[in-house]
Structure 1
Amino acid sequence: MHIQFNQRRVLVTGSTSGIGFAAARAFLAAGAHVVINGRSDASVAAALSRLGDVPQVAGFAGDLATQADCARLFEAHPSFDIVINNLGIYGPEDFFETSDDTWAHFFQTNVMSGVRLARHYAPGMVARGWGRIVFVSSESALNIPADMIHYGFTKTAQLAISRGLAKRLAGTGVTVNAVLPGPTLSDGVADMLKADVERSGSSLEQVAADFVMAHRGSSILRRAATVDEVAHMIVYASSEQASATTGAALRVDGGVVDSIA
């Protein structure tokens, strides 16, 4: 199978590092024109520098959790063929200590950013008879973490939106899917495990595998996925080859979710 995007225009939100950056890099390698996004000019500039001298990539600095920065994006880039809603935040906090402001911040960032982008860009996709929208959710949408209920709630909400929007766009040539990563060795996870790596003398990969087994004991993969492994699923779901896949929740969780469905 050879996936080629033939100049398709792609937006990947939250793409200056981690899964988003890996997805942007993979889209570029497959011939797409890509806009990467981060909250600051500095983070976007650093990501563009890491990508090297690639003419078909541009950056947009803005917090897409806000209506104002979404409006700036729409003005700068009126049309995309593929939208990857990867922007997201996470962090443990006890339910009884989680404030209304925190709930609202997580909802605006993880959920409403994708809602606004899909609402703006999907009509153009429908008019052209082709498009792809992917919400990057999480296995936490199905396995709600007791220490991050506010986060799990937003990831479940993404599944509801992606499934409902796929049905709303039935027969248009536009597919909508969700990708559900499990434990993934992203930049943030690597930073979190840095002290354990230094203390143990083990490799980052081994420390990450130990972390997975300690905190996600149902894992069949028995290690953390790489960001590229998750990006491959995102790219496939966005391809011509995935034209019959829509309304799906595509797990890249290493078997953490104990289900045959």
Structure 2
Amino acid sequence: MDVGIDLEGLRVLVTASSRGIGFNVARELLKRNARVVISSRNGENLRKALDELSSYGEVYGVRANLFSQRDLENLVKEGWELLGGVDALVWNAGNVRCEPCLLHEAGYCDWENASKLHTVAPGYLTTLLVQAWLERKRRGVLVYLNSVSIKEPMPPLALADVTRAGLVQLAKSVSRTYGKYGIRAHSVLLGSFDTPGARENLRALADEQGKPFEEVWESEVLSRTPLHRTGKWSELGSLIAFLLSDEAEYMLGSTVVIDGAMTRSVSL
């Protein structure tokens, strides 16, 4: 089956990729002939994901807790050894522990959790990879999977929205500073995709509102876009493959929206 851009041999790290968005992105990249390292802090989930993904191409797994400095350093080290180098990072992260929750329900530890997950971890991984690429005089691409809700905030996801917003600045800063060395970054603002995490969040919201899950899924997800559906993994895979390819070089530092026209705002 023709899946568009061929990423033949491209060596990619995909974080938080044993399920949900990260897993499906890894699968789409493997379909396009990339060589991939996935990660998860859950060893059993990682094993199951590797079993399923191995039929699509060359894939390895590294156990990594995104809250751990040592694990982030080891992810880059092991990824580099397994693939013989790293050409790209696709950053993905799970949910802040307390979410969905409103601001007045969040404590100090919740803010700390959100900052470590959505600011510190991607920032430090970026530092590690940029250092490695500069030292070896190699090109590199960083794609930060983000949420379109940083444009139109969703109150129950305020902690994630606030801390993820910095990924847009990170992509621009990397590209402005290191673009001349062939190192570039992009931020991708995702709309609704059907994942276990999304369903868990909506189920919690439905329970809180005393409504059936399907009613909340319809009102909070499907009805928000004129297409009346969630995004397809093939669509997201094609976009990320393009951003990882040399064809997207002049788009360095860009923020790309893939949300089915869910949001009404026209700019950040």
TM over 0.5: yes
**2:36/2:59 contact within 8 Å kept:** yes
TM-score, structure 2 as length reference: 0.84
**1:175/1:247 contact within 8 Å kept:** yes
Structure 1: distance between partners of 2:50 and 2:11: 17
Deviation at 1:4, TM superposition (A): 1.9
**For the structure 1 residues 241 and 11, does the alpha-carbon distance in structure 2 shift closer, same or farther, using more than 3 Å as the test?**
same
**1:33/1:56 contact within 8 Å kept:** yes
DSSP-derived class of the 1:58 partner: strand
1:165 aligns with 2:167: no
Deviation at 1:194, TM superposition (A): 7.4
Q: Which runs of 5+ in 2 are unaligned?
A: none
1:45 corresponds to: 47
DSSP-derived class of the 1:259 partner: coil
Q: Which moved more, 1:45-54 or 1:186-195?
A: 186-195
TM-score, structure 1 as length reference: 0.86
Q: Which runs of 5+ in 1 are unaligned?
A: none
**For the structure 1 residues 23 and 76, does the alpha-carbon distance in structure 2 shift closer, same or farther, using more than 3 Å as the test?**
same
1:153 corresponds to: 162
Deviations 1:14-69 (A, max 9, x none): 11111211111111122211000111110100101111345621001120221121
1:237 corresponds to: 243
1:108 corresponds to: 116
**For the structure 1 residues 96 and 155, does the alpha-carbon distance in structure 2 shift closer, same or farther, using more than 3 Å as the test?**
same
Q: Of 181, 184, 187, which aligns to 1:175?
A: 184
DSSP-derived class of the 1:166 partner: helix
Structure 1: distance between partners of 2:38 and 2:262: 30
Map 1:67-216 onto structure 2 (within 5 A).
67-78=69-80, 79-90=85-96, 91-126=99-134, 127-191=136-200, 208-212=217-221, 216=224
DSSP-derived class of the 1:133 partner: strand
Structure 1: distance between partners of 2:143 and 2:25: 12
Question: Over aligned residues, Cα RMSD in angstroms?
Answer: 2.6
**For the structure 1 residues 258 and 59, does the alpha-carbon distance in structure 2 shift closer, same or farther, using more than 3 Å as the test?**
same
Deviations 1:83-112 (A, max 9, x none): 011123242112112011111111111221
Structure 1: distance between partners of 2:235 and 2:4: 17
**For the structure 1 residues 4 and 227, does the alpha-carbon distance in structure 2 shift closer, same or farther, using more than 3 Å as the test?**
closer
**1:178/1:249 contact within 8 Å kept:** yes
DSSP-derived class of the 2:8 partner: coil
Tell me the matched-pair count. 253
Deviation at 1:2, TM superposition (A): 4.0
1:62 corresponds to: 64
**For the structure 1 residues 171 and 12, does the alpha-carbon distance in structure 2 shift closer, same or farther, using more than 3 Å as the test?**
same
Structure 2: distance between partners of 1:251 and 1:94: 25
DSSP-derived class of the 1:170 partner: helix
DSSP-derived class of the 1:47 partner: helix
Deviation at 1:70, TM superposition (A): 1.1
1:10 corresponds to: 12
1:35 corresponds to: 37
**1:186/1:226 contact within 8 Å kept:** no
Structure 2: distance between partners of 1:95 and 1:55: 43
DSSP-derived class of the 2:179 partner: coil
DSSP-derived class of the 1:180 partner: strand
**For the structure 1 residues 137 and 192, does the alpha-carbon distance in structure 2 shift closer, same or farther, using more than 3 Å as the test?**
closer
Q: Which moved more, 1:246-255 or 1:86-95?
A: 86-95
Q: Which amino acid aligns with 1:96?
A: H
1:246 aligns with 2:252: yes
Q: Which moved more, 1:83-92 or 1:37-46?
A: 83-92
Q: Which moved more, 1:174-183 or 1:121-130?
A: 121-130
**2:40/2:62 contact within 8 Å kept:** yes
**1:15/1:86 contact within 8 Å kept:** yes
